[in-house]
A and B are shown apart, each in its own frame.
Chain A
Amino acid sequence: MKTFEEKWTAWLDGELTGDELAEFEASLPDKPAAEAEKRDAHKLGAFLKEQLQDRAMGNEEFFHHQLRERMAADACATNAPEQTTRPALWPIGRLVWAGAVSLAIFCVCTFFVIREKSPSDQSEYLTQVLNARVDPALGPNATISMFESKEEKVTVLWTEGLQSLPSEYATK
């Protein structure tokens, strides 16, 4: 169902035909006034068309040139995010690797620190370097051990089962 405005516009533009036209014209209370307004609207249309049509654009070549530049810039801008996406992703990978390596270093350091800090597990001597039998010809039950004293910072050579220290063990 058309409103009055729609019918009026269609009537002005000659879009009403047949029964619709007859019905609308019959409904007009003052047909001569309506016809005058129709002519008035047509005058307005012709006037606008004459005054407003074909506004010339200056510098048409420059318009094309500028548009082509903007299209090219837009194409670059469209591709740019793909290029910047990768560098943005690499640091994340690097961060993961750096994190993993840091964690591993931390674990190793923690392991050694904890081991160093547990005094019960450690003897008075830092290292038992040697604990073995010496040449059976010198003494069948002879053993020799070497210790390092942390506090005194001395190395102790401890021998058992020997009558005397062999000459080649003497300090040179």
Chain B
Amino acid sequence: MHTEATPAQADVSELDLVKQCQAGDSEAFDQLVGRYRTRVFGMIYNMVHNEQDAWDLAQDSFLKAWKSIGRFRGQSSFYTWIYRIVTNVTIDWLRKKHVKGSGAEFDDAIQLKDIDPASRTVPKAEALPHQRMERREIRARIDDAIAQLSPEHRAVILMKETEDMQYHEIAEALDCSIGTVMSRLFYARKKLQNLLRDLYENV
């Protein structure tokens, strides 16, 4: 887990911010949003593979958090608490939409966004066109593989591998037992190993 401030500073200020939010201070909530916005968005994006949907779901998640922040008792970290909301909102959405996922979800808007309008016709060395294309292909393969997992398995593998969350934090966020987390992790890894082995062995 990575934070912008040191853990102690982050904990203290985060708790203060939460208390201010509970007193109705929307500015304090704005600061909390600023702190977790990128990670929340990234997590949702990795689950739904569409930037606009990820944006909307991030909005819904933060709005839900604002509405229910009065019920936050500080028994877990705010981070775990917000992740619980995020995963609930996203998993509900995935179930409703029955998104099976495919490379087609990786829409043009995202690709255009990657291009700097001020860049020269020949981009810098680290972003040559064929490299970009290769990255996009890899990304599409990963998205496709993740889309074949159930929403719960997606959430578990992403929290563990990209967010470095502990078993108990994942269990709290998903409101399930640690055993269930470990079991889901086992199957999610097996599936992704089968689907992506050629990629991570060669890249």
Interface residues, chain A, with chain B CB atoms under 8 Å away: 2-3, 5-6, 8-10, 12-13, 15, 40-41, 43-49, 51-58, 60, 63-64, 66-68, 70-71, 74
Which residues from chain B contact A40 at a C-beta distance below 8 Å?
193, 197
B20 within 8 A of A: no
- CB pair B63 A3 closer than 8 Å: no
Interface size class of B (residues with CB under 8 A): 35 or more
A15-B167, A48-B161 as given contacts; A57 in contact with B41, CB under 8 Å = yes
The distance in angstroms between the C-alpha atoms of A44 and B158, with both chains bound, is 12
* B105-161 with Cβ < 8 A to chain A: 113, 138-139, 142, 157-158, 160-161
- CB pair B162 A48 closer than 8 Å: yes
- CB pair A66 B59 closer than 8 Å: yes
A5-B187, A45-B161 as given contacts; A74 in contact with B37, CB under 8 Å = no
The distance in angstroms between the C-alpha atoms of A9 and B186, with both chains bound, is 6
5 A-B residue pairings within 8 Å (CB atoms): A8-B186, A10-B182, A41-B189, A48-B161, A64-B30
- CB pair B33 A64 closer than 8 Å: yes
Interface residues, chain B, with chain A CB atoms under 8 Å away: 26, 29-30, 33-34, 37-38, 41-42, 45-46, 51, 54-55, 58-59, 62-63, 66-67, 113, 138-139, 142, 157-158, 160-162, 167, 179, 182-183, 185-187, 189, 192-193, 196-197, 199-201, 203
A53-B42, A57-B37 as given contacts; A6 in contact with B26, CB under 8 Å = no
The distance in angstroms between the C-alpha atoms of A136 and B37, with both chains bound, is 111
- Interface of A (DSSP majority class): helix
The distance in angstroms between the C-alpha atoms of A46 and B46, with both chains bound, is 16
**8 Å CB contact of A60 from B29, B37, B51, B157:** B37
